[in-house]
Amino acid sequence: MPHVTTTDPGFYNDISAWSKNTGHELLDKSSQAGRFEASIRKMKDSHHVV
C-alpha cells in the first residue's frame, strides 16, 4: 500500500481527485504542521501508476 508524504498544500485536495480519476482507493489523508499524507490502495485493474 503506497503512502505519500509531501509539503505541497495543494496535494491535500489533488489526491482525492486523482484517486477518483484513476480508480485507486484513497484510504486516509491527513495534514499536520505543514505535512500532508495519504495512504492509497492501488487497484489491480487500473493502468495508472501510483
How far from 18 is each of 33, 34, 40, 42, 50, CA to CA, in Å?
23, 21, 11, 12, 10
Output the pLDDT for position 12. Answer: 84
Q: Is pLDDT of 47 > 70?
A: no
Average pLDDT taken over every residue of the chain: 88
- pLDDT band per the 50, 70, 90 thresholds, residue 24: very high
Average pLDDT over residues 11-17: 91
Output the pLDDT for position 26. Answer: 95
CA distance 20 to 25: 7
One-letter amino acid at 14 equals D
HEC profile for the chain? CCEEEECCCCHHHHHHHHHHHHCCEEEEEEEECCEEEEEEECCCCCCCCC
- pLDDT band per the 50, 70, 90 thresholds, residue 40: very high
